[in-house]
Amino acid sequence: MSATGETRPGPSALPELPPEAGEDVGVPPQGREAGTDQDLVRLADIRRAEASLPPSIARHLVTEWRPGVWLKLESLQPSGSFKIRGATWKLMTAADSARSRGVVAYSSGNHGRALALAARSMGARATIVVPGNAPKSKLGGIAGDGVTLVRCQPGSELRRQLAEDLARSSGAVLVPPYGDLDVIAGQGTVGLELAEQIDGLDAVVVPVGGGGLASGVGAAVKAIRPAIKVIGVEPSLAADAAQSLREGHIAVWPVERVGRTIADGVRTQSLSALTFRHMMRYVDDMVAVGEAEILAAMGLLLNSCHLVVEPAGALPMAALLAGSLPDSARVALVVSGGNTSAGTLQRALGSGHAPRPARTGAEPR
């Protein structure tokens, strides 16, 4: 049952799909049949990533915000978001000879920043395709020695096409932001840590853009504790993933439509075919929140926790404050990123929207 009360196809419904925007399309992994649950990321893949990622990627950024509510603070990772996990693991799995020809990514900001940091740590040259309207705060974090920024018009599909052309012509490693098994396995380490670090967890709540984080987290927690609910959150102005899961096929929203939300980190036009299959299998529910709720959640996190959180990273908290999550559940909210501008923070602090309390109990601590 969806957040709107509509029934969507169950986890067993995994239709055959053509390649979609955002997916790194190629030969399926050996021994796995494309288009079925056999090509989904497995717990063993996620554990291998967890054991291999460098210690600079923090594993224990979990705090109990108030009784029964934990925050997974990916906003405090070296790149300012969870994206460092998938980007690093993808480069670690690439052959040295391939990395020597450089790496290419397309990103609205956080994935590019993470890849730039990972590439520099491995001595690889990075080219990042970014939209011209990307926040300066994120572009500033990408720029550096060995990083080339290529600007294009807004739209995740345009970025993907340009990045694929650049990788093809140069022989560089293409690192997609979400539609890739290694990237999803890297992001899945977030779910692995939550399932193993918090006893009695009822639900994990994650922001959804292209679906890489929800896919990896879902694959991890469902393998370890199948009873844990995986709940995705989108802005109402960019709710293509909820429509996709509700209708049982990938919905593609125009760039002009998703561009209306303040949550720039989730302005993707669609899921990829790969993340769609994962989310159909592992995501239990989708929740949509409004712009005022997102700003209120950002303001609360800054005021009560002294946390700088970007709009996309505040989506789970917005869902909690709006009363859209199960009552009395022990939930972990993934605060996915903190790369935002002073202007956006000022909007959050001055929004004047008091969120409706979703729960009773102790004050935030």
Catalytic residue set? 83, 336
Backbone region of residue 165 per phi and psi (left: phi > 0; alpha: psi in -120 to 50; beta: other values): alpha
- Partnered with residue 104 across adjacent β-strands are 127, 174
N-to-C CA span, the chain: 33
Which of 355, 346, 337, 352 lies closest to 263, judged by CA?
Answer: 337
* Dihedral sign of CA atoms 71, 188, 280, 337 in order: positive
Are 328 and 68 within 8 A, CB to CB?
Answer: yes
b/e string for 156-175 if b means 16 or more Cβ within 10 A?
bbbbbebbbebbeeeebbbb
CA distances from 234 to 76, 102, 288 (A): 21, 33, 5
Query: What's the token pair of residue 193?
Result: 């840590």
CB 262 within 8 Å of CB 296: no
Rounded Cα–Cα distance for residues 114 and 127 (Å): 12
Identity of the amino acid at 364: P
181, 275 Cβ separation under 8 angstroms: no
Q: How many CA atoms lie within 13 A of 220 on its CB side?
A: 28
